[in-house]
Amino acid sequence: MKYLLTAALLTATVHAAPAMANRIACGGNYTVVPGDTLGEISLGAYGDRLRWRAIYQANLATIGPNPADISVGQVLRIPCDSRISRSAVQQAATAPKPEPEPQPEPVQVAPAISIVGVDGLAPFTNTGEAEGGLFPLMIQRAFEATADGTPLNYSINLVKDRSLFDPLTDRTDFSIMFPRIRPNCEAADRLNDQATALCSDLAWSEPLFEVQVAFYGRPGATAIDDMSALSGRSVCVVRTYGMAAVLEPNISNISADDAESCINLVSGGVVDVMAVEPAAFERAMDRIGDQVRMASSPVLTLSSTLHAVARSDDADAVQTLARMNEGLSTIKSSGEWFVLVKSFFGTSS
């Protein structure tokens, strides 16, 4: 199954859920309750969570510089959006039609930039979300926030293909993929062969999000301070995000598609430790129960960042990635990045 979000000339259509529209009346005040974000309030007022800016601008003095910082009990004014005004629609319907103007020559649009994401990594990528998850929406908003007015034709596809986490130097069926963990390219002497190739062969976006990579062993495993302590030992790496890229040289590794497979290899003594997101490890242990013997706490936890990447020899893709980076910096500076993240992860307290 493949999810397709297409944006041509930076124009996108968002289909709102009709049942949610007008749940909050515009033209009056609204008191923030637990669970609210500006996106959710916008969805209730206008049927579209992406029109939260109208509420933010109307309440800038109350909310302050960070649109993600709303709290229970705040009273917000809900402006009526002219795009849904009945009187405006009626006036437009009765107004005399102007004489047609000469049409300009068609704009020559470059071939679409194909952007591919690995599906099933909720909340980052998820075909069950109207926007396809946090990252497709974040990338779309980043492109829309760039100052460059040059038309951009691109598509975002979500596919259930974990092989996208393998090295990409021989892939020509897309221009940009996401999400992938970035190795510490600035410490070349501590990179394994795969990480070295990723650093030299790929161009990287600004960070989309920060994640934790945790290493778990069998009961009694001793905590370590640095990955160098794993030198000469074996690690089962969950394939998600291309985590093998964080390993240092002299650490042998086996890749697995899920946490359960790595847990079985560690508990069976086939490998020494496993590398996985803490939340994925906990979910897997809940499913397996007491059938395996694993330490409940990691011996080491590292912070890594997720990015979009392009092959460094694809000039068009690298240029598009640079435009994405400009937009990501813009939405982080404006606070929109925090609003997007909070709409998928958190709520007001």
Answer for the pair 168, 311: CB distance below 8 angstroms, yes or no. yes
pLDDT digits (tens, 9 = 90+) for 301-327: 999 999 999 999 999 999 999 999 999
To 10 degrees, the CA torsion angle through 298, 299, 304, 306? -40
Q: How many CB atoms lie within 10 A of CB 217?
A: 23
Using CA atoms, how far apart are residues 83 and 86, in angstroms rounded to an integer? 9
Phi, psi angles (nearest 5°) of residue 274 = -130, 155
**Category of 83 on φ-ψ map: left (φ > 0), alpha (ψ -120 to 50) or beta:** alpha
How far apart, in Å, are the Cα atoms of 65 and each of 57, 70, 77, 324? 10, 11, 17, 23
- The reply to whether omega before 98 is within 30° of 0 (cis) is no
Do the domains at 12-86 and 113-206+308-345 have one common CATH topology?
A: no
Tokens coding 329: 């910096």
Q: Give the angle subtended at the CA of 145 by the CAs of 143 and 151, to the nearest 5°.
A: 50
State how beta strands 300-311 and 202-204 pair.
antiparallel
For the chain, the domains span: 12-86, 113-206+308-345, 209-304
Report the pLDDT value the prediction gives residue 91, as an integer from 0 to 100: 43
What pLDDT, on a 0 to 100 scale, did the predictor assign at position 19?
A: 40
Q: Are strands 153-159 and 113-118 parallel, antiparallel or unpaired?
A: parallel
Looking at domain 12-86, its CATH superfamily turns out to be LysM domain (3.10.350.10)
**What pLDDT shows up at residue 174?**
87
In words, the CATH class of domain 209-304 is alpha beta
CA angle 41–209–165, rounded 5-degree value: 125
Task: Give kind and range of the element (H or E) at residue 202.
Answer: strand 202-204
Q: What is the DSSP string of 250-297?
A: T-EEEEESSHHHHHHHHHTTSSSEEEE-HHHHHHHHHHHGGGS---SS
From first to last of its 349 residues, the chain has per-residue pLDDT tens of: 334 443 433 333 333 333 445 578 888 899 999 888 888 888 888 888 888 888 888 888 888 878 888 889 999 999 986 453 333 334 434 545 556 666 666 555 455 789 999 999 989 999 988 789 999 999 999 998 887 667 788 899 999 988 888 766 567 788 999 999 999 999 888 888 888 988 999 999 999 999 999 999 999 888 888 888 898 999 999 988 888 888 888 899 998 989 999 999 999 999 999 999 999 999 999 998 877 889 889 999 999 999 999 999 999 999 999 999 999 999 999 999 999 999 888 654 3
Name the CA radius of gyration of the chain, rounded: 24
Other C-beta atoms lying within 10 Å of the C-beta of residue 276: 26
- For residues 38 and 70, the answer to whether their CB atoms sit within 8 Å is yes
User: 113-206+308-345, which class in CATH?
Assistant: alpha beta
